[in-house]
Amino acid sequence: MSAPVTHSPTSARLLLAIETSCDDTACAILTYDGTILAEGVLSQTDHAILGGVVPEIAARAHLDALPALVAEVLKKASLTLADIDIFAGTTGPGLIGGLIVGSSYAKGLAMALNRPFMAANHIEAHILTPRLPSLGAALHFPYLTMLVSGGHCQCVSVEQTGRYVRLGGTIDDAAGEAFDKVAKMLGLGWPGGPALEKLATEGRDDAYALPRPLKGREGCDFSFSGLKTAVSRLIDTQDPTGTRDALPRQFAADVAASFQRAVADVMADRAEHALALSPNATALVVAGGVAANKTLRQALEQVAANHGITFFAPPLRLCTDNAVMVAWAALERLHAGETPDDIDTAARPRWPLSERTPAIPEQFS
């Protein structure tokens, strides 16, 4: 069942997007040409004492936060809901509870105002973020994206809007997940990535010879499980009782720096292999939450320089989950001539880039 549509996609001038795929509640309003009018992100803190995101708690927090956040973003832009021409919401992949809350909220607004709805793919949104006009990158197809986050680690050749070639992905932990787990081993807080990077500035990245899983092998897949195990065994030599808060500060810093360097070396190697498979790539892009890591950025920037192509990383606020990227992904689809999605489009925890839109549940078809 589709909501009646009174605005055609090409007449849409203001788009409001909602992102709730994990533990960040986000909303943004963009003009049809990609100008950011207002944005807001609320990061949940209740998960810190639990050492990771609890899906049900995250979903409930999104439900509590969305009304006020949407109102705040509208106020920042000096707009009302009636001014919005089209709504978009992250519909997958991610934690199903949060996806249902956010996408349903966006759908509800679309139905109430008789406006169209766009279902956004979270991974596609990260991949297309660098093409946002206000970033000034002038990024042209095709380009290569290294998507590095807590839940995803993929190497994707971006051929056109909606046409992507997945060259490789993680066969176990995503890079961000490995950062969080190693940070926990070192007795750091959650989320672990930023805390580990900060600690690493005090250490030597050549202090310990940690493994570089899959480095030098064919293909573009990633594996961080062995590296994580090696770090655990190394820590056990200093902390056999498991009281992580008793680790010597310099030892912990050296482990953090050595681990971070190992991940960066692996990512650089995988990027080299990917560029060999994508000789026409005009740029190398890093996206996702871990793209905020300076050591990783520098390693990939050197790879791009070696190949004589542009390197681009979004601003830090657009690396982590946000609604600006969701809005822009929806706008890219509209610019490419696609029509809005059915209002009954289902949220789903897995949504491969090869599939344009999640299927409508059988009970609605």
Which residue ranges are tagged as binding site for substrate? 147-151, 180, 193, 197, 293
This prediction has a pTM of 0.90
Each residue's pLDDT tens digit, 274-302: 999 999 999 999 998 899 899 999 999 99
Is 73 strand, coil or helix?
helix
Q: Lowest mean pLDDT of 41-55, 220-234, 244-258, 315-329, name the range.
A: 41-55
Sheet arrangement for strand 283-287: 163-169, 153-160, 143-148, 283-287, 310-312
Task: Say yes or no to pLDDT of 8 above 50.
Answer: no
At residue 359, the pLDDT reads 55
Task: Say yes or no to pLDDT of 9 above 50.
Answer: no
Inter-residue contact 214 to 226 (CB < 8 Å): no
DSSP, res 345: P
The two structure tokens encoding residue 238: 């200093």
* Phi, psi for 24 (deg, rounded to 5): -110, 130
In terms of Cα–Cα distance, which of 183, 181, 187 is closest to 241?
Answer: 187
Q: CB atoms < 10 A from the CB of 338, how many?
A: 16
At residue 52, the pLDDT reads 67
Is 344 strand, coil or helix?
coil
Each residue's pLDDT tens digit, 160-177: 999 999 999 999 988 888
Task: Say yes or no to pLDDT of 1 above 70.
Answer: no
Each residue's pLDDT tens digit, 65-90: 999 999 999 999 999 999 999 999 99
Which residue ranges are tagged as binding site? 122, 126, 147-151, 180, 193, 197, 293, 321
Count CA atoms within 13 Å of residue 347 on its CB side: 23
In terms of Cα–Cα distance, which of 176, 268, 167 is closest to 220?
Answer: 167
Rounded CA separation 131/332 (Å): 9
Rounded CA separation 351/120 (Å): 10
Which residue ranges are tagged as binding site for Fe cation? 122, 126, 321
Residue 364 CA from chain centroid, whole number: 30
